[in-house]
Structure 1
Amino acid sequence: MKNGTDNEREIRSLFDRLDGLGVREYVVCAGARNAALIAVVTARAERDERFVVRHFFDERSAGFFALGRVMVTRKPVAVLTTSGTAVAELLPAMMEAHYQALPLVAVTADRPAHYAGSGAPQAVEQEGIFGVYANGTMGGPLHFNVRLEEEALDGGALERCVIAGEVTFDGGPELTDTGIWEDFWSSDAPLVVLVAGLHPDDVKMVSAFLAKLGATVVAEATANLDRVPELQELIIRGDEKLLRSLEVGRVLRIGAVPSWRWWRDLEDREDVMVLSISKTSFRGLARKERVVCSPWSALTRDVGAVEARLAVENDDGGLGGLIEQFPNSEVAWMRHLSNVVGADARLFLGNSLPIREWNLAAARRSEAGLEVFANRGANGIDGLVSTWLGVGDGADESWLVVGDLSALYDMNALWILPQLREGKRRLVVINNSGGQIFSQVRWLSDLAPPARKVMTNAHGLGFESWASMWGVGYRCFSDWRDLSDDGDGSGTVIWEIRPDADESAAFWRAWS
């Protein structure tokens, strides 16, 4: 059985490793089991301004908040939990971090080894609990499981938990090319480039590559390419309808896996070669035939310019007219919101319908410095409010556009607000009374009413009481002409948008 010296040695070893990884931000979820670890991180934060400690009572929200910090800072952030089911609450955020190759670090306190398999309180099998989602490769998530005797350390022991050197993550090891790389670039088949999920710091490198390539580009809002003037002639606007009209033989994906259904349909298009340049090793498609991943460094290669771009009419296809005709439809609300979001704000878009609708309808402002983020790793709807709060912390202005079910999924997230730096925050909930994305899935739209109700989780809830609970501002809009950010101040305000369901349905019938 360990004594106090053994505990001290274990804690020193842990923090030597965390320091070496460059961890300077900690998100703490307190319990008796991790009290000694909390004592160390809080003491460090008191005496060294490089360390930041925040605390949550909910491990799942804590994990996603930490993920948001990693997304925007691109530095590892650690979450400290107690033992038992608290550890399992981190799994969704660890999964998301795995598929984005982000260094989220889980530090989980555990009961001593002789408790394993005993069924004693809070004695669960924690080692390896995250499986493949914490294998420590590609700059992805890490898991440190710490077994300590249940005793506190004295002040002298805390002082001996020293700070070591700093190491930064580089996005992971490079991947191996195959002969498909040469086949892809030697082909003269029509080429389209899909870009999604670029960190703003990566835009310069990607833009230089695309400008030299000269191919047709379809960019999600999360690509952050609207700010690049020299690319605007290459970028085409549109959504699934436009993508379906393209006759392509090659698809180059840069960055994250895009949200378009058209991308998923490439599973059955073995006639189309697909090359992904990404910071992860994931193809984004299940099929392996004529599909290859290349490392991020491939963007520095000179692949030459395409001889001819795809001939595409770069107009709105009548979108503007439909927005005028159905101004309170859900898609039209995205246009209205895009006109009030600050030009230099950080915007977080929820999965998946808000991303698709923003891509389709948001006003394009090439002069803007808007930074757009989303969780496109595992594509889940949980933890989105928490992730946004992590992404937006430190920004003068940050916005979240999220569906009603996603907001309900993460109602604990606002706990962290008093611990964050001041800033203008607008949490926009598109309340269409359920998961309306399922109404756009063709075979689901044919279900009987009882089954459709279950699929959409139809409800009649509002969000004013949520705002009241956390002491933040609240406004509700059902008419686009009332939309205004005047007078809301610089704090946090929940905006509840209630689209007109009939107009939304009419819009999609006309657009499709």
Structure 2
Amino acid sequence: MPSVISAIVVDELIRNGVQWFVYCPGSRNGPLGFELARRARAGEINLQVRLDERSAAFVALGITKATGIPAAVVTTSGTAVSNLLPAVTEANYSDLPLVLVTANRPPDVLGTGASQTVDQTALLASQVRHVQQLWSGDSSGATANGVLRSQVCRALGIGTGRLVGRPGPVQLDVPLSSGLPPQPETSSPAGRPGGTPWIAMPEIPRSQHPDATEIDLRRPTLVIAGDGADPAALPAHLPCMAEPTVEVGDRRRLHPWVLDQVRPEQVVVYGRPTLHRNVGRVLARPGVRSVLVAGGGDWLYAAPDIEVLSRNPRWTGAASPVWIEELERADTIVRDAWTRTMTEPANRRTGVGVAHAALNALRPGDLLWLGASNAIRDVSLTGLVPPGVQVLSNRGVAGIDGNVSAATGVALANPDRTVVALLGDLTFAYDASGLQTGRLERMPANLIIVVSNDSGGGIFELLEQGDARYKREPYGDTFERIYGTPQNIDIAHLCSAYDVAHATVEIDDLPATLGRARTAQRLSVLEIPVTRTALRDVHAGTRQAAEEAFDATAVSAMNLELELHS
């Protein structure tokens, strides 16, 4: 019976630690929906109903990312399943144990051309760790109960990384004979006593590699920590260039431009550094020993210039105070240059100005969600994340899709924290449907979305395509059409349609406006109009100022050395 199968599947997912379910309405998955609603009424799970499967999957992804606990998205059959692909791809490359529960037509009609019959087990196969089509025969016996529950346990064991390889998304495809509601007198076979999983899984295995890779800190060593890096694994007391999503604790976080100024003998990479091109340049320098610290069953970051792959680095020696002083001096020079840049009103009216203002408006305990393209890079360049603020972002494939929805999931999973999402206008517009919340669902009232509206794709202004020569003849308006792509969207009216609060804000007023939004307890969008045409000049001017400061410091050091030897 569909209701019995659904009850067994939901119960075993709960026993395996799933606490959040994001449900998309449909007929075929109706029995799953009834069971989820029943368990939610009993206070056993958190349930969010979302209309759009693409958005729902990103909501579940945001919940998984924020909590570290697998969340499940539940869909009906047919094209509903294909809409999960963008979020599943992000979960795959971010090693997130997202659970996909996809209702399907019964096996006797699959492959017959019946309505809504597609090969759902193949749709997502390239991006999931495991696809399990659950047995859907006679559900009344103990054997059927054990088979279904063991299949769920195996899928969750693979998804969480307890059985093999890295954690990641898994799909449970559930063929159901109908979408009929359950009969009141129907009961499902019980699971193990005490609410435990049907199969007790081992803890997530720790890498055991006795062949440690020795890394001598007496050699000038540069540590780079990209998304996914384990902060606890970083060498203590050594400054590191860490991306915003990596917490560094008491270590000094080096500005990315420091990489252009120092000459390390060895570079050690953790996680997947994807924000700054100079990471690749420093790894490619002749004579630099490059070490990738990787874990799990796959490389987290595979640069072509990596020389050594290690899962068990062993730090020896102590970093020279002179080397640490050089790193910190370079960091101070670059950050001072950016501070001076941000004092100019014209420079503040850019995306980097919005990032700088947003950082200054954050409070300890806040959770910052950063959109793709420029938003996360602007935060990395213009300032430091305040202590006590957690930073999350979709960095698996770093797409602009699903950012509103993922931030919504983060906010739903953290109702007692203010979640500030910093997005560009295109990233916001791409996932504007993520603002949609049913009238019977809990609104993420603690979510404040700051939209840096530069009327287009600001990231391309900073890339090769943004060179001024490509904006002149014979290219004409080609850059603006295929890269700038300004949209004819009134964000205020869009927010009104979704019953979301909106305010147009000047950059200097952002801290006060954000403070008022905190107390309003309503999903809010703060739109800040800025320019993107000045971005290239802002970056070039700041870099020139930093270079001049480095030159002046070098001259001073040379003069001092001459005086000492005179």
Partner of 2:246: 223
Partner of 2:453: 431
For residues 311-358 of structure 1, the C-alpha deviation after alignment (integer angstroms, 9 at most, x for no partner) is: 232312421221112232321222112121223211101113111111
For residues 429-464 of structure 1, the C-alpha deviation after alignment (integer angstroms, 9 at most, x for no partner) is: 111111110121125535324431212312343310
Partner of 2:542: 511
Contact conserved, 1:192 with 1:252, CA < 8 A, in 2?
yes
Aligned counterparts of 2:399 and 2:9: Cα–Cα separation in 1? 31
Aligned counterparts of 2:51 and 2:499: Cα–Cα separation in 1? 18
Task: Output aligned runs, 1:225-374, within 5 Å.
Answer: 225=248, 228=249, 230-232=250-252, 235-236=253-254, 238-239=255-256, 241-265=257-281, 268=284, 271-278=288-295, 281-287=298-304, 290-294=307-311, 298=312, 303-307=316-320, 309=323, 311-312=326-327, 313=329, 314-315=331-332, 316-325=335-344, 326-363=347-384, 365=386, 368-374=387-393
For residues 59-86 of structure 1, the C-alpha deviation after alignment (integer angstroms, 9 at most, x for no partner) is: 0110010011111111111111001110
Task: Output aligned runs, 1:69-468, within 5 Å.
Answer: 69-135=63-129, 136=158, 137-152=165-180, 153-157=182-186, 160=189, 164-166=195-197, 173-174=205-206, 182=213, 185-186=215-216, 189-197=219-227, 203=231, 205-206=232-233, 209-211=234-236, 214-225=237-248, 228=249, 230-232=250-252, 235-236=253-254, 238-239=255-256, 241-265=257-281, 268=284, 271-278=288-295, 281-287=298-304, 290-294=307-311, 298=312, 303-307=316-320, 309=323, 311-312=326-327, 313=329, 314-315=331-332, 316-325=335-344, 326-363=347-384, 365=386, 368-393=387-412, 394-416=415-437, 419-420=441-442, 423-443=445-465, 445=467, 446-447=469-470, 448-453=475-480, 454-468=482-496
Partner of 1:65: 59
Structure 1, 353-362 or 451-460: larger mean CA deviation = 451-460
Aligned counterparts of 1:283 and 1:147: Cα–Cα separation in 2? 35
Identity %: 24
Aligned counterparts of 1:20 and 1:330: Cα–Cα separation in 2? 45
**TM-score, structure 1 as length reference:** 0.85
User: Could you tell me which amino acid in structure 2 is paired with residue 385 of structure 1?
Assistant: V
Partner of 1:26: 21
Aligned counterparts of 1:306 and 1:187: Cα–Cα separation in 2? 5
Q: 1:51 to 1:456 in 2, by over 3 A?
A: same
User: Could you tell me which amino acid in structure 2 is paired with residue 497 of structure 1?
Assistant: I
Structure 1, 149-158 or 264-273: larger mean CA deviation = 264-273
For residues 207-234 of structure 1, the C-alpha deviation after alignment (integer angstroms, 9 at most, x for no partner) is: xx532xx433112221133xx3x323xx
Number of aligned positions between the proteins: 484
Q: Secondary structure at the match of 2:372?
A: coil
Aligned counterparts of 1:68 and 1:177: Cα–Cα separation in 2? 33
Among 485, 490, 500, the residue aligned to 2:531: 500
Q: 1:462 to 1:472 in 2, by over 3 A?
A: same
**TM-score, structure 2 as length reference:** 0.77
Structure 1, 368-377 or 498-507: larger mean CA deviation = 498-507
User: Could you tell me which amino acid in structure 2 is paired with residue 458 of structure 1?
Assistant: P
Contact conserved, 1:255 with 1:277, CA < 8 A, in 2?
yes
- 5+ residue gaps in structure 2? 130-157, 159-164, 544-566
Q: 1:94 to 1:265 in 2, by over 3 A?
A: farther
Q: 1:170 to 1:390 in 2, by over 3 A?
A: farther
Q: CA RMSD in A?
A: 3.0
User: Could you tell me which amino acid in structure 1 is paired with residue 279 of structure 2?
Assistant: W
Q: Secondary structure at the match of 2:361?
A: coil
C-alpha deviation, 1:92, in angstroms: 1.2
Larger radius of gyration: 2
Aligned counterparts of 2:539 and 2:202: Cα–Cα separation in 1? 43
Structure 1, 215-224 or 306-315: larger mean CA deviation = 306-315
User: Could you tell me which amino acid in structure 2 is paired with residue 259 of structure 1?
Assistant: L
Contact conserved, 2:12 with 2:191, CA < 8 A, in 1?
no
Contact conserved, 1:22 with 1:75, CA < 8 A, in 2?
yes
Contact conserved, 1:138 with 1:173, CA < 8 A, in 2?
no
Q: 1:130 to 1:473 in 2, by over 3 A?
A: same
C-alpha deviation, 1:401, in angstroms: 0.1
Contact conserved, 1:29 with 1:81, CA < 8 A, in 2?
yes
Q: Secondary structure at the match of 1:44?
A: helix
